[in-house]
Amino acid sequence: MSPDPLTPAPARPEGGRPRRLRGGRLRRRGDRAIPGVKVLPTAMTLANLVCGFAAIFYSARAGETGGPTPFGWHPLTVAGVLVFLGMAFDAVDGSLARLTRSTSDLGAQLDSLADVVTFGVAPAFMMLRLVSVYYGPGEIILGPDTGNLYARLCWSVAAIYICCTALRLARFNVESASADEDDHLWFKGLPSPGAGGAVASLTLLHQHLVLVTWKDELPAGFGPASALAIPAATMLCAFAMVSRVRYPHFVNRYLKGRKSVPAVAIGLMIVATAVWWFHEALAIAMTAYALSGPATALVRRPAPAGTPADGGTGPESMR
């Protein structure tokens, strides 16, 4: 039977074999997902989601006296570590999906849902629970039904942060061009892992200073006073997420590819410093990244006429 003249011929790559249509996307015959390993990206994404849930669980125990926790840490310390563990899972799931040729719309949507929990709900609840330890009535978590105006403001900050995280991820899903790493070089707005990491790192630093560094000689009023700064940082991160300020994809832009000897030496010095002053270095690094977008926008020269506003790069992407 002769082919229908109205039916378009299958697309052929230049000088290559014909592509086949699967799931609405064109793929080469050799680009099939590797059997047995294509489940790994989904497993990493679900591990990220579980870390977010566990962080919420331990944050809820912040007001308890005693009770078992991993390594005997304070519950908020455990929650902060779990947020960063979720960040590690989130960093590898996209790379695994591309490596196993199993990128899909389902994986991208699942990744965003996990990020809402781990980098949206969990950090917001951590902040609220930390402030509740100092300003809440007993073990009650501050909320809109509390008579204290400051309590209602903190709860509102947490709610705004969660909403901005959801908006940030929804906008990202709409604007993502592809799973190609060339489209993963910049973010429009602070990425949700960066925002969640900033809030979690400040919480970890607060707990380290109060419970370890100055445990026996804590300066008077330091705990309650320093806890007040974290809601302010949370609000700033919320606004940064829904902004149009550009942020670099740190891994794709700075860690991949060949590096010069001076660059490697500087990296080793930074790692050595972070080992000795881990909590301080982590908080400084995450805060600096959150501030890097506005700082770059202030010193960046206006683009010449006819030049794309985003410098010619595609929309930001995580997976």
Please state, in angstroms and as integers, the Cα–Cα distance from residue 189 to each residue in 4, 67, 125, 242, following that order.
48, 40, 22, 6
Phi, psi of 216 (to 5 degrees): -90, -20
Residue 305: predicted pLDDT: 47
Pair 100, 33: CB distance under 8 Å: yes
Give CA separation, 289 vs 5, 119, 310, in Å. 56, 15, 19
Q: Position of tokens 């445990």?
A: 215
Alpha carbon distances (Å) from 130 to 61, 167, 217, 275, 300: 11, 25, 20, 26, 37
pLDDT at 40: 87
Copy the structure tokens of residue 233.
């940082």
Pairwise CA distance, residues 23 & 207, whole Å: 48
DSSP the chain: -PPPTTSPPPP--TTSPPPEEETTEEE-GGGPPPTTTTTHHHHHHHHHHHHHHHHHHHHHTTT-SS---GGG--HHHHHHHHHHHHHHHHHHHHHHHHHTT---HHHHHHHHHHHHIIIIIHHHHHHHHHHHHHHSSTTPPP-TTSS-HHHHHHHHHHHHHHHHHHHHHHHHHHH---S-GGG-SEEES--HHHHHHHHHHHHHHHHHIIIIITSSSPPTTHHHHHHTHHHHHHHHHHHHHTS--EEE-HIIIIISS---HHHHHHHHHHHHHHHHTHHHHHHHHHHHHHHHHHHHHHHPPPPPTTS-TTTT-------
Q: Give the pLDDT of residue 43.
A: 92
**pLDDT at site 179:** 53
pLDDT value for 242: 94
Q: In tens digits, what is the pLDDT along the chain, a chain of 319 residues?
A: 445 444 444 444 444 444 444 444 434 444 554 555 678 889 999 999 999 999 999 999 887 666 678 888 889 999 999 999 999 999 888 778 878 777 788 888 899 999 999 999 999 999 999 988 887 665 567 777 766 778 888 899 999 999 999 999 999 888 865 555 555 567 889 999 999 999 999 999 999 998 888 877 888 888 888 888 999 999 999 999 999 998 887 665 555 656 666 766 777 777 777 778 888 889 999 999 999 888 888 887 555 444 444 443 333 434 4
Residue 242 near residue 189 (C-beta atoms within 8 A):
yes
Strand 20-22 and strand 25-27: the pairing is: antiparallel
The span from the CA of 307 to the CA of 310, in Å, is 8
Amino acid at 317: S
Structural domain spans, the chain = 35-298
Encoded amino acid at 222, one letter: F
